[in-house]
Amino acid sequence: MTADHVRSEPGCTWIVGLPALIAILCQFAAGPAAALEWEYEGVDISFDTTLSQGVSVRASERDPATIGTANGGTAHSVNHDDGTLNYDDGKISQNVSRFTSDLNIDGGALSAFFRVTGFVDWEQRNGTRERTPLTKEALEIVGQDLELLDAYVTGNFNVGEAPAQLRVGQQVLSWGESTFIPNGINVINPIDVARFRTPGAELRNALKPIPMISGSVSTSESITVEAFYQLRWKEVETDPPGTFFSTNDFVGAGGSRVFLGFGEFSDLGTSFGPVLGPAINQDLIDAALPGQPPFDPNFLGVSRGPDDTPSDTGQFGVAMRMFAEKLNGAEFGLYYMKYNSRLPIVSARTGTTAGVNLANASAVTIATGANTNLATGSLAASAKLGGLVGVDRYAQTANYFIEYPEAIDLIGASFNSEVGNTGWALQGEYSFKNDLALQVDDVELLFAALTPLSTSNPTFYKQFADNQLGTFGTDTIIHGFIERDVSQLQATATKVLGPTFGANTGVFVVEVGGTYVHSMPKQSSKRLNAAGTDTSGNSQQAAAGGAHEGKPAEPSSAFPTAASWGYRMAAQLTYNNAIEAINLSPRIQWAHDVQGISPQPAGPFREGRKAFSVGLKATYLQEWEADVSYTNFFGAGKYNLLNDRDFFALTVKYSF
């Protein structure tokens, strides 16, 4: 009976790194595209547009380890397989037409900037999914959209003799020195994960602009002070359930139900396991059990309650940057900000007293054989079936919901510099987040939400009381997180190459990062959540009478650790005029989570997880661009839910 996992995802965070690698490398190879430009009474106006068409094709077969047993796989959960089941190997997974237009109006002391984008994914909009149709909410994110991104006004002026700038409107503000690894200092704007992973996406598609007031003042030639105040809160846009990269079927837009049962029972009402299956007969469907409701087609499904979103107010930050000319032009930064979490936490509300009473009545009725057509074959099987149906009755009165904890304090420091005359540039940062919300193991959350049953009827439900969160009454909220201080340290080295391997130019970038959870609880007292941990870490729950009897418990090595680290590398060469006026830029990217497991939802590392990508970009006259790539995910076994989501991508762009 498992509620599956929250990802940023990166999750939500993990896969974001590869598009970021590609986008950053492309910046090194790209030159300025032609733009429409005017001048009117001292005001410079420029307008440029990029049109793109991108297609992705799945390049790997489905991995049974990512698919619930009731759905034909080997995983003990049906809550993370809609994405892999919806797209066949060798078939198109994305087919995106997109435009992005920038309008810049520069009047010197006063300027304005606007960016609008729109897209249609013809595959999601018109294609047929192999298993689960995308919901209306999902299609609003991945099917088509027209959106105003940036829209702000900037004023440049002096405060006394100090130059200053004030910017008001919807904008992106990037602080810190992170390159590929997320969840450091740069948390002001949430990531649009779903759209950034579409073919043809650029860095400007990665972060959601937010209405805010930001400004800076140079108090001296070497010191600049910056500040911002946000006027609205926005969340990270995770992959909607059922889309190609989704590894969670209930958290993202359109997710409406999480299923219990540890993979044994289908989320489509089509397979109910060796015990319940023979018992699903017309008697149950037609409510032949006296006084009982009809059989629930969403068996063991818990509905989603309203999201608990935070306030738009109380989010601000200040920073100071110091330029040290004598230290080879190094720049240092200090930061403080207070913000509300952009990452989702899964919490629960226990069922009602009426639900408990109905569960007990159903369990006793079935276990004592009131349904004469039950083909269970033994008293033990009847008791198990009675308990399952009882949980289902109770679950209909409970719900899970998504919340975003408030008032996270962040302090940080950064640097960037060149290493003498070596051609290497170094940058790095340290961030400390006070009381960051970390997701508790969702299986423990599930057990805790079922404890009203164990209190009322230990004969059937005593196993649920053996959890790490405690016992709760009916109609009670259980917050699915603990708060801990979290440190993250990361550094990037960049080398711009001269003529190499026959190329005119090249670039090599590597970033190393590590995360540390202060006062990390012992796994014996409180396990935190990690991807792919479909069963409990408590071996007693796998034994006779346990909540997932006969299904092995997860080893301690599968759960988050205090420390975790990994690295990302990328390299690109550019051959100017390789074919007539066409420049060619081959590239390679590599990502490796080396040791430790970061807790969700923000953790970027899962030990053993790797990704590899190769690509080739062709540019013609800085206007036309074609890009082809292949990406492979592997490592970390069943705990890497993207292992079977390899893909080819082809994109053509025209800028004017």
> H or E segment at 604?
none
Q: What is the CB neighbour count within 10 angstroms for residue 309?
A: 14
- For 314, the 3-state DSSP assignment is coil
pLDDT of residue 42: 87
> At 19, is the pLDDT very low, low, confident or very high (cuts 50, 70, 90)?
low
Is the pLDDT assigned to residue 409 strictly greater than 60? yes
Helices 379-395, 353-367: crossing angle, 10 deg rounding? 160
Q: Which percentage of the chain shows pLDDT scores above 90?
A: 78
Measured between alpha carbons, how far is 221 from 321 in angstroms, rounded to an integer?
11
> At 286, is the pLDDT very low, low, confident or very high (cuts 50, 70, 90)?
very low
> At 566, is the pLDDT very low, low, confident or very high (cuts 50, 70, 90)?
very high
Is the pLDDT assigned to residue 400 strictly greater than 90? yes
Burial letters 482-513, b for 16+ CB under 10 A, else e: bebebebbbbbbbeebeeeeebebbbbbbbbb
Cβ atoms of 23 and 201 closer than 8 Å: yes
> At 113, is the pLDDT very low, low, confident or very high (cuts 50, 70, 90)?
very high
Contacts of 459 (CB under 8 A, 6+ apart): none
> Beta strand 345-349 with 301-304: parallel, antiparallel or unpaired?
unpaired
pLDDT of residue 386: 79
* Mean per-residue pLDDT over the chain, rounded: 90
pLDDT of residue 367: 66
pLDDT of residue 205: 84
Measured between alpha carbons, how far is 380 from 171 in angstroms, rounded to an integer?
62
pLDDT of residue 180: 93
Is the pLDDT assigned to residue 510 strictly greater than 60? yes
Q: Is the model's pTM score more than 0.85?
A: yes
Is the pLDDT assigned to residue 508 strictly greater than 80? yes
17-265+300-351+398-655 topology per CATH: Porin (2.40.160)
CA distances from 363 to 261, 262, 269 (A): 16, 19, 20
Q: What is the CB neighbour count within 10 angstroms for residue 238?
A: 31
CA distances from 202 to 97, 196, 359 (A): 14, 7, 52
Which of 367-376, 377-386, 591-600 is predicted with the least confidence, judged by mean pLDDT?
Answer: 367-376
pLDDT digits (tens, 9 = 90+) for 150-208: 999 999 999 999 999 999 999 999 999 999 999 999 999 999 998 899 999 888 888 99
Is the pLDDT assigned to residue 418 strictly greater than 70? yes
> Beta strand 399-403 with 301-304: parallel, antiparallel or unpaired?
parallel
Q: Which percentage of the chain shows pLDDT scores above 70?
A: 88
The dihedrals phi and psi of 610, each to the nearest 5 degrees, come to -140, 160
pLDDT of residue 464: 96
- For 338, the 3-state DSSP assignment is strand
pLDDT digits (tens, 9 = 90+) for 300-323: 999 999 999 999 999 999 999 999
Is the pLDDT assigned to residue 4 strictly greater than 90? no
Is the pLDDT assigned to residue 368 strictly greater than 70? no
Measured between alpha carbons, how far is 235 from 238 in angstroms, rounded to an integer?
9
CA distances from 592 to 59, 272, 562, 566, 596 (A): 21, 39, 18, 6, 12
Per the omega criterion (within 30 degrees of 0), is the bond before 499 cis? no
The dihedrals phi and psi of 493, each to the nearest 5 degrees, come to -120, 135
pLDDT digits (tens, 9 = 90+) for 476-492: 999 999 999 999 999 99
User: To the nearest 10°, the Cα dihedral for 533, 390, 481, 455?
Assistant: -120
